[in-house]
Amino acid sequence: GESVGLHLPTLSVQEGDNSIINCAYSNSASDYFIWYKQESGKGPQFIIDIRSNMDKRQGQRVTVLLNKTVKHLSLQIAATQPGDSAVYFCALPTPNSGYALNFGKGTSLLVTP
């Protein structure tokens, strides 16, 4: 089956620094990728997505980079703020299951003042 994994389970950064969260995937046919943020006691919240015909997409303070050659994507958060502290998941929709999302284990981001 599809394997979605993250390189680091935890990441601690200082407020104001940039954060980079990585994700590897195994299915080279995957064509759509999503990043979700999950705060404690809440459901996952959509952050940004990217399709396989792009290698970079920018949002507000966030950038997603996609490297299809090595099957890797990353989420970059600029000027990290305490409110960014959460668990971040990359997720891949599975078309043969109604586009149900296949999540990785997640990276816990802790922003220290």
Partner 1 sequence: GAGVSQSPRYKVAKRGQDVALRCDPISGHVSLFWYQQALGQGPEFLTYFQNEAQLDKSGLPSDRFFAERPEGSVSTLKIQRTQQEDSAVYLCASSLPAADTQYFGPGTRLTVL
Interface with partner 1 by CB under 8 A: which residues? 4, 34, 36, 41-46, 49, 89, 91, 93-95, 97-106
Closest CA to 64 of 89, 95, 39, 93: 89
Closest CA to 94 of 52, 33, 43: 33
Nearer CB in complex with partner 1: 100/110: 100
Least Å distance between CB 23 and partner 1? 11
Least Å distance between CB 25 and partner 1? 13
Question: Edge to edge, what strands does the sheet with 4-5 contain?
Answer: 4-5, 19-25, 72-77, 62-67, 56-58
Least Å distance between CB 15 and partner 1? 25
Strand partners, 67: 72
Nearer CB in complex with partner 1: 69/97: 97
Nearer CB in complex with partner 1: 69/96: 96
Written as six digits, the tokens of 79 are: 């000027």
Least Å distance between CB 16 and partner 1? 28
